[in-house]
Amino acid sequence: MSQRVAWVLSNGIVGMDNQSLGLAEALGLHCIVKHVVPRAPWKFLPPALWLEPLRFLAEGSDSLTPPWPDVIIGTGRLNVAVSIAIKRASGGRVANIRIQNPRVSLRQFDVVVSPEHDICHGGNVIETLGAVNRVTQAKLEQAAQLFGAQFDTLSRPLIGVLLGGTNQRYTLDSAFAQRLADKLIRALTTRGGSVLITPSRRTDPAVVAILRERLAAHSAVVWDGSGENPYLAYLALADYLVVTADSVNMASEACFTGKPVFVEGLAGGKGKFEAFHRSLQQRGCARPFTGELSDWHYARLDETQRVAGQIKHNLGW
């Protein structure tokens, strides 16, 4: 049988696109990214209220016309209505796979892949601990070969630090940076070693500047955004990983490695992020970051391959 074709619906949000692409790749699909730019007022409305979603798209959207693909995969709210419209236009032939709770009738989808903390239940729902992603062992090994020589001279252990940014739940500001620096210095003073820090697109430059300044007297590498992103190399080469609490994606990817993962910035209260991190701790994948390093073992978190296998079974592939 020829390779199935998947349209991956993208709204230009990297974290969401990585979930869609990661699942498509794990399913062995030929991926075609379709950029979807919703027009006002529809982009401000719930998906159920969108009228003729395939017509009312803004400039910059890709063509969404036949021939239809075998599969549509999308993540997040902004392309839910479009995926439903494509399935209808195809006469139901297209398999509609949705990542995250779509907040509309689940009957519109063949499969819904939803993190446990999204609280989405149904016969066609596959629940996950965390986010599906694009990290694979092969990619980690490739990154380690590409970047390994750069870090050979650094003292170990290597502490990889994955920085996110402020969201509705967490504030990653200058005060946060000072607290994180204190803990990293405590770890370096106690255990020795080196710190590898990679900011994301969402990281406040002031946070990066403070960490660079505070760690200047220590063995530390802070990626400056130039050249190829060493993110996967940090996952591959670090002995310990510190992840900021704002990102489900980064925590999920870190726990794929099976290495000790520490979460920085936990608020300790309610909400889906806190529920997710509690689940990671209960599973034995992660612990709060206090500045003290410890070693433990757990079965690495590979939800992407597990979900892909279940989807193939459910759809009879």
Q: Would the CATH topology of 5-129+305-315 be identical to that of 137-288?
A: yes
pLDDT at 266: 83
pTM, to two decimals: 0.93
Q: Where do the domains of the chain lie? A: 5-129+305-315, 137-288
| CATH architecture assigned to 5-129+305-315 | 3-Layer(aba) Sandwich (3.40)
Q: For 82-141, how does the pLDDT look when each residue is reduced to its tens digit (9 = 90+)?
A: 999 999 999 999 999 999 999 999 999 999 999 998 889 999 999 999 899 999 999 999
Helix segments in the chain, DSSP class H: 14-26, 80-89, 137-151, 174-191, 205-214, 231-237, 248-256, 272-283, 303-315
Mean predicted confidence (pLDDT) in 19-26: 98
Highest mean pLDDT among 37-41, 42-46, 66-70: 66-70
Which of 61-75, 210-224, 263-277 is the least confident region? 263-277
Cα 156 to Cα 269: distance, rounded to the nearest angstrom: 35
Lay out the sheet containing 111-115: strands in order across: 30-35, 5-10, 71-75, 95-99, 111-115, 125-128
Looking at CATH, the fold of the domain delimited by 137-288 is given as Rossmann fold (3.40.50)
Q: How confident is the model at residue 268 (pLDDT cuts 50, 70, 90)?
A: low
pLDDT at 42: 81
